[in-house]
Amino acid sequence: MKNSLIRLENISKSFDDELILNHISLDVKKNDFVTLLGPSGCGKTTTLRIIGGFETPDDGQVYFNDKVITQKPPYKRNINTVFQKYALFPHYNVFDNIAFGLKIKKMHHSDIKKKVDWALNLVNLKNFENRNIHQMSGGQQQRIAIARAIVNEPEVLLLDEPLGALDLKLRKDMQYELKELQRELGITFIYVTHDQEEALTMSSTVVVMNDGVIQQAGSPEMIYNEPTNAFVADFIGESNIISGVMRKDCFVELFNHGFVCVDKGFGINEAVDVVIRPEDVILLKPEKDKLTGKVTDCIFKGVHYETYVEAGGKEWMIHNTKSHIIGSDVSIDIAPENIHIMKKR
Amino acid sequence: MIKSGLKKLYMGLVFIFLYAPIVTLIVFSFNDSKSRAKWEGFTLKWYANMFHDPVIVKSLYYTLIIALIAAIVATLIGTFAAIGIHYMKKWFRGIVMNITYLPVLNPDIVTGIGLMLLFILINLKLGFESLLLAHITFCIPYVIISVLPKLKQLTPNTFEAALDLGATPFQTIWKVIVPEISPGIVTGFLLSFTLSLDDFVISYFTTGNGVQTLSITIYTMTKRGIKPEINALSTILFAAILVLLILINRRPGKNNVLLD
């Protein structure tokens, strides 16, 4: 396949007889910001480590610019990594940490100085080069780790939950900065996280993983709006997942009430999973032919109210801007394009 | 009041029992008399005599050269062994660590006789080489035990981070891992040097051909009656080991698993 910078082909990996990756294939395009997203133990970090060269797959091949690199050691790959706990070298100061890779390459001293200055400037740590690593805060160490990686001008930067140890505010700032950095440098980023919001905010491609299998790969909008299965729907944002039956094309039955939808191609009377996002549920005054229920709770969340409605034997989560009295009757309506039908797993 | 007085008395007694022999030895090494019962004034002549005794000077030379070479070689082998053990799979590491600890707990006399039998079996003439090999052997576990905790303190992925930045495994060990664990390596070296100086039992069984360490010389001298030079020699040995122990314990970033 042309255009792909990194290609994983049928990768499998086990540790102590436990299957961690089960025949994974993935294409990463140049300049892409790819996020591997999933719960812990889903295989996302192992995937990253295979790309970095720290693990060798039991089966399958890794391609880099259409060349097989499966057996190549990390120090021969033009890929750099930002580790979760930074893995800075405490006996070197900031300058020597960042210069480490350049010194290994035996670059000329004055060029090293120039490059380190450039990298420090990029991560907003100008004039910090003589500091000791222990004198730096967690956020600053994070920036040094990023500078240490990008100063080598890799074609691909791997980031293993790099913001995991930072507090919420700093995390948000860094998300924005990383995204900016990626745009500015034009380096392909492969980013591992278990935080779905982070994934949606930063990435151009989100790869949702679970149980060693890629569940879905696509743009954040596509993953959010068109999840392929209940796992993806549940993992990406809040959702109401309901069992339904397709009565015909573009018509699904939920709790004995018919809803018009836009999905086609399912079998007549096929049982399906239906995903409805909380913000897509419209609450109306009780109407006769509509699905009707009782408000069980209504919580003010700042921008919206989080309302819970018991209807058809299921508790629905609804986000809207109106408050509802607990115990009152409401009817539920959903626009056809907001009903997402998925095959049962 | 009485209680705390008793406590202090008890502690004082313990220290007297522990240190009275050494203090006696040190005091009599400065005694201007061959008598072991009477104080007849201060002198340094036993120390001067000692350095004129060719047997003592030669054994001092052997003691120092063996301690130095044994400590250097054991530190090298032990450090690389520790790095290897650290990056082993967990269950295998457990087995290897138990094998490592065993010689530490093994009675010296068993180690000594075992080594002697082995040297005889492989036809190695007992002498300088066998003594040196024996010292290297019993020092290695102590180096491993000193270095391993430092490796455990490394931030996770340190090794991989260096590989990632283009360093070969050898460059990684040399430029990143060794500087990080150097306090442990120095502790291991000093510990080996001290243990080698200190050893009598294993040396006694593994040497021969006229090669003697200080402790063996002291032992053979006592068989011919205790001369005041022995007091002087023992005092010097005690002082050297004391200084080394203080050095090991006072170093910054120490990890004195054994000496606390």
DSSP letters spanning B145-175: HHHHHHHHHSPTTHHHHHHHTT--HHHHIII
Question: Which of B157, B163, B166 comes nearest A85 by C-beta?
Answer: B157
Question: Which of B161, B168, B175 comes nearest A87 by C-beta?
Answer: B161
Kindly state whether residues A191 and A333 are assigned to the same domain. no
Distance CA A106, CA A90 (A): 22
pLDDT at B260 over 70: no
Burial class (CB in 10 A: 0-12, 13-18, 19+), A251: middle
pLDDT, residue B255, reads: 46
Kindly state whether residues A32 and A178 are assigned to the same domain. yes
Residues, chain A, total?
A: 345
A141 interface with B at CB cutoff 8 Å: no
| 3-class DSSP assignment, residue A70 | coil
For residue A270, give its domain range.
238-343
pLDDT, residue B252, reads: 60
- Quickly list H helices, B87-209: 90-105, 108-121, 128-153, 158-164, 169-172, 178-198, 201-206
Q: Return the CATH number at B206.
A: 1.10.3720.10
pLDDT at B257 over 50: no
Among B187, B81, B76, B74, which residue's Cα sits nearest to residue B134? B74
The verdict on a CB contact (< 8 Å) between A88 and B171 is no
Query: How many domains is chain A partitioned into structurally?
Result: 2
Q: How many CB atoms lie within 10 A of CB A145?
A: 25
In DSSP notation, B205-252 reads HH--TT---HHHHHHHHHHT---HHHHHHHHHHHHHHHHHHHHHHHST
Kindly state whether residues B38 and B137 are assigned to the same domain. no
pLDDT tens-digit map of B122-180 = 988 888 999 999 999 999 999 999 999 999 988 889 999 999 999 999 999 999 999 99
For residue B76, give its domain range.
52-259
Query: How many domains is chain B partitioned into structurally?
Result: 2
Average per-residue pLDDT for chain B: 86
Kindly state whether residues A296 and A263 are assigned to the same domain. yes
Kindly state whether residues A79 and A209 are assigned to the same domain. yes
Regarding an ipTM greater than 0.90, the answer is: no
Burial class (CB in 10 A: 0-12, 13-18, 19+), B82: buried
Kindly state whether residues B113 and B225 are assigned to the same domain. yes
The verdict on a CB contact (< 8 Å) between A84 and B157 is yes
Kindly state whether residues B192 and B226 are assigned to the same domain. yes
A258 interface with B at CB cutoff 8 Å: no
- Tell me if A150 sits within 8 A of A82, measured CB to CB: no
- Tell me if A274 sits within 8 A of A252, measured CB to CB: yes
The secondary structure element, H or E, covering residue A311 is strand A305-311
Kindly state whether residues B220 and B237 are assigned to the same domain. yes
Q: Average pLDDT for residues B196-217, to the nearest whole number?
A: 88
Chosen domain end from A210, A232, A254: A232
Q: What is the mean pLDDT of each run of 10 residues along chain A (345 residues)?
A: 82 91 93 93 93 94 92 93 91 94 93 94 89 89 93 93 84 89 92 91 93 93 88 87 89 89 86 90 88 91 91 89 90 90 81
Kindly state whether residues B147 and B37 are assigned to the same domain. no
First-last CA distance in chain B: 30
- Tell me if B206 sits within 8 A of B130, measured CB to CB: yes
Question: Which of B155, B164, B171 comes nearest A85 by C-beta?
Answer: B155
Residue A201 identity: T
Distance CA B64, CA A167 (A): 56
pLDDT, residue B1, reads: 65
Distance CA A86, CA B153 (A): 15
Kindly state whether residues A171 and A291 are assigned to the same domain. no
The torsion region of residue A222 among left (phi > 0), alpha (psi -120 to 50) and beta comes to: alpha
- Tell me if A6 sits within 8 A of A156, measured CB to CB: yes
Residues, chain B, total?
A: 260
pLDDT tens-digit map of B23-42 = 888 888 888 877 667 777 88
Answer whether 0.80 is exceeded by the pTM: no
Percent of chain B residues past pLDDT 70, beyond the cut: 95
Kindly state whether residues A251 and A174 are assigned to the same domain. no
Chosen domain end from A216, A232, A248: A232
- Tell me if A52 sits within 8 A of A79, measured CB to CB: yes
Kindly state whether residues A219 and A320 are assigned to the same domain. no
Which residue out of B89, B159, B165, B172 would a mutagenesis test of the A interface target, given it has the greatest number of A Cβ atoms within 10 Å? B165
Cβ neighbours of B167 in A, within 8 Å: 75, 100, 104
Q: Return the CATH number at A135.
A: 3.40.50.300
Distance CA B137, CA A235 (A): 57
Among A25, A107, A61, A79, which residue's Cα sits nearest to residue A190? A79
Kindly state whether residues B26 and B91 are assigned to the same domain. no
Chosen domain end from A197, A232, A267: A232
Which residue out of B90, B164, B174, B176 would a mutagenesis test of the A interface target, given it has the greatest number of A Cβ atoms within 10 Å? B164
Residue B32 identity: D
- Nearest residue in chain B measured CA to CA from A101: B165
